[in-house]
Structure 1
Amino acid sequence: MTGGAELAARLSAAADDGALAALGFRNDDRDDVKLALAAALADRERMAEIQLLADRLRVAIGRIDRETDAFDVPAAASDWRGVGVTPMLALLAVADDVRAFHRSRGVPPEISNRSLSDLGQQAWVHRRTYGTFGVHTYAWLVTAFSGNLYWLGRLQFNLVHRSDGWVLSTHIPESGPLTPEAVDDSFREASAFFAAHFPDYPTELFHCGSWLLDPQLAQVLKPDSNMVRFQQRWNLEEEVGPGDADAIFFVFRRRGDVDRSTLPRDTTLQRAILDKIDAGGHWALWSGTTPQAPFRAVHA
């Protein structure tokens, strides 16, 4: 990005309702984004911070193997108009650069837009979690805006390098039932997509690291539940860390020191999560893999 005039032009263009809808912003968040954009455009110091972050983001685009986090957020930006709003505007500023990288890889526009719509999705998650406008998952969003996260059907995928080679890391956005059919479709689409658009990063395995892979879930949910059937797909590798915070966040959309007595117990899953923690037990994060071969198209 060459200078302040270009940044201002990009941020002005980002205030368009259609552009914000394409990035996944819902109505309430669109209004707040437009207010933040107007405030930033009138604030020279804020524009300098956005420029700094946008420049760092641009360097990361296409760096599938990047090791550093592009979001070293200036301290002054931490609570301006809400948590993470300054880096959110930097993401808006580089969206077209990410789309250009997608085009260079032959990624269809509809997949490009769906993948970048995780920005609006994360703003919605933030509002559900804290009741305010912002985004607290900006470190995660760097993956999408580096060109290494693709929303394919029900699931999201990105390339990750491990000691045994490249794998497709699998992520589960909050976007509907996790049915076996939807997962199968996503696995098939991902296998074909990455083979076509990232052939220089060959993969044989899907990988997942999540509290959803905790074997204890199968002890408290019905065997035919979507979550248990999802878990049973994976060859578990190891327990990788504590999972209580993730379980509380993904099931109840709460962060930090949560008063569990205020949380709903309307579903079997909600009750199972809380009952175990209240009884002194804990959930864990597990990692696992499953082969791609069954989901690859066979050509005569």
Structure 2
Amino acid sequence: MIDYFIDFFEKYDYPKQAIKDLLSSYQTLLSNQDAYSIFEAIVKQYELDDRFIIKNCYPQLEEVASKTNLSPYTIYLLFFLSLSKITKEKYIAKNYSIEIFYESMADLKYKMLECYKINNIYGNRVPWWEDGFFDLTRVALGRLQYEIVEQDTTLVIGGHLISKGDSVINMHIPSSGPLTVQDCMDSFCKAAEFYKEYFKERPTVFVCHSWLLFPHHLEFLPKDSNILNFMKLFTIYNTEFDEKKSDLWRIFYNEENKPISELPRTTSLQRAYADWLLNSKPVGCGKGIFLFQDGKIIS
């Protein structure tokens, strides 16, 4: 497994310190017979039982962390890295391309880097999020990630009725670099092809529920912002205000709870948000939708 880890780390260009820390932690796990037997049994269950529900094993993984004095975040990441070797075969068995597997597994690095920025640990602080990639209900296709969900509201978009309960493609935006319209359009094309069985001859319906779609961004983000360009792809049909400001970590990471006047201003996004908050303005998220056909957004 260590050789597999090393190959995996090299493929995704993991930071050298992350590689060192994770390999050391895995050796610690291997040296604790009780902990490793629990860990190994869960991995084996994932391999053999197609009905295995990943989230049900998190208490056991926390027990492994306790027995080894390792952070649960580290154990979660080692767990998903171990599963990925098996997951590759599951993707192949379902006739998913190897490219889809590699793009989907890249999420482990994105979440690891977030964990390091917030907790100073190379691990995974949101294990529940990864479940979809490992039970094959969520995939990455280029810049974005997708899954089929039921539409939550009946809407008429561009003359097309989208009923509550209809199958639609829900998208997620990983923290993997610039969010350009061209990269998104390329990804939408891949998703429309991947999920074509759900829509037949009808336009493909995409939805997104994200802080990126907060309509008030139009009031304070730079006019050339990639976020604004992304927002403009959607019809935003619902706005939610968040008094707890629960998404600020995505912008300020481990400094999100500082007094507003002390928030970092390294990036243009941080500066825009800090100024907005200084003026006691609200934050939140939005729900958006668009129809896609023949490589274009049609409404």
**CA pair 200-216 structure 1, distance change in 2 beyond 3 A:** closer
Query: Is residue 145–residue 173 contact of structure 2 (8 Å, CA) maintained in 1?
Result: yes
Instruction: Go from structure 1 to structure 2 and tell me whether the alpha carbon gap of 1:19 and 1:252 turns closer, same or farther (over 3 Å shift).
Output: same
CA pair 287-56 structure 1, distance change in 2 beyond 3 A: farther
2:278 aligned residue: 278
Q: Within 5 A, what are the aligned runs for 1:202-241? A: 204-240=204-240
Tell me the SS of whatever aligns to 1:292: strand
Q: Is the CA contact (8 Å cut-off) linking 1:204 and 1:293 kept in structure 2?
A: yes
Find 1:99's aligned residue among 74, 88, 102: 88
Q: Tell me, in whole angstroms, the C-alpha distance in 2 between the residues paired with 1:46 and 1:229.
A: 48
Does the C-alpha gap of structure 1 residues 243 and 44 become closer, same or farther in structure 2, counting only changes over 3 Å?
farther
CA deviation after TM superposition for structure 1 residue 240, in Å: 4.4
Q: Which residue of 1 aligns with 2:59?
A: 73
1:76 alignment partner AA: E
Identify which range, 209-218 or 122-131, moves more after superposition: 122-131
Once the two structures are aligned, what percentage of the paired residues are identical? 20
Distance, in Å, in 1 between the alignment partners of 2:170 and 2:49 is: 19
Q: Deviations over 1:227-246 (max 9, x none)?
A: 11211111222234627645
Alpha-carbon contact 2:139-2:145 (below 8 Å) kept? yes
Asked whether the equivalents of residues 211 and 243 of structure 1 are also in contact (C-alpha less than 8 Å), the reply is: no
In the alignment, what sits opposite 1:158?
147
CA RMSD of aligned residues (A): 3.1
Give how far 1:53 is off. Answer: 4.2
> Higher relative contact order by CA 8 Å / sep ≥ 6: 1 or 2?
1
Residues 236 and 288, structure 1, Cα contact 8 Å, conserved in 2:
yes
Answer yes or no: is the 8 Å Cα contact 1:23–1:118 preserved in 2: no
Which residue matches 2:249? 249
- The match for 1:42 is 31
Shift of 1:157: 1.6
TM-score by length of 1: 0.80
C-alpha separation in 2, matches of 1:126 and 1:111: 24
For the residues of structure 2 that align with 1:130 and 1:93, how far apart are their CA atoms?
22
Listed as ranges, the matches of 1:1-300 within 5 Å are: 11-15=1-5, 17-22=6-11, 25-51=14-40, 53-54=42-43, 57=46, 69-74=55-60, 75-77=62-64, 80-162=69-151, 163-195=164-196, 199=197, 204-240=204-240, 242=242, 245-254=245-254, 257-295=257-295
Return the alpha-carbon distance in structure 1 between the equivalents of residues 192 and 198 of structure 2. Answer: 14
Using a 3 Å threshold, how does the CA distance of structure 1 residues 123 and 106 change in structure 2: closer, same or farther? same
Deviations 1:107-155 (A, max 9, x none): 2212211211211221122112222222202111112222233222222
Report the TM-score when normalising by structure 2.
0.80
Q: Deviations over 1:183-203 (max 9, x none)?
A: 1111112212333xxx36878
Question: For 1:73, what is the secondary structure of its paired residue?
Answer: helix
- Cα separation, partners in 2 of 1:45 and 1:222, compared to 1, 3 Å: same
Q: Give the residue type in structure 2 aligned to 1:130.
A: N
Secondary structure of the corresponding residue to residue 208 of structure 2? strand
CA contact (8 A) 1:264 1:270 kept: yes
**Cα pair distance change 1:287/1:49, threshold 3 Å:** farther
Gaps of 5+ in 1: 1-10
